[in-house]
Amino acid sequence: MRLLATWMFVLYLFCAHSTAAQVIVNDSAIDFPLPASELRLIFSMQKVYWPDGQKIQVLILTPGSEVHKEFCFKPLDMMPYMLQRRWDRLVYSGTGERPIILKNEAEMQAQIARTPGSIGYVADPVLSGGNRVTRSLYETSP
């Protein structure tokens, strides 16, 4: 029985950690389905405008952080260092910029709430801080 409980606990821990990161956007961003391929373009900095002409402001957490890696693997379906390689190419050829790096999720919520056109992610929708969660959108995508 005790063994079972231990296993349940381990399983619980595993589940708790496997919730995918959630994409959140500023309310000014147009509400339309964001398929995973679109998300990859946005976070690769290869799509820089929303359809209404607003500039997309891409925000991420420290690339070494667990949440960032989770975000890359889950909604983005991309290896973190592939994404980093695309940014490096832009940065060191001078032709573009990488996303803005924030220290923690609280900063992410606050920054997204006050920056029109911004997009980012948090570990859990509870942490969206009132920002729009785009969860349902990428889950419907291929």
Question: Which residue number, 79 or 106, has a Cβ lying nearer to another protein?
Answer: 79
104: DSSP letter: S
Distance of alpha carbon 114 from alpha carbon 4, whole angstroms: 48
Q: Are 31 and 25 in contact (CB under 8 A)?
A: no
Using CA atoms, how far residue 109 sits from 17, 27, 116, 121, in Å, is 20, 12, 13, 9
Among 51, 114, 130, 136, indicate the residue that binds another protein (CB under 8 A): 51
Determine if 112 is a binding residue for another protein (CB under 8 A): no
Is 115 a residue that touches another protein (CB under 8 A)? no
Which of 101, 116, 139, 140 is the binder for another protein (CB under 8 A)? 101
Q: Which of 2, 14, 95, 126 binds another protein (CB under 8 A)?
A: 95
Among 6, 19, 28, 37, binds another protein (CB under 8 A): 37
CA 40 and chain centroid, separation: 10
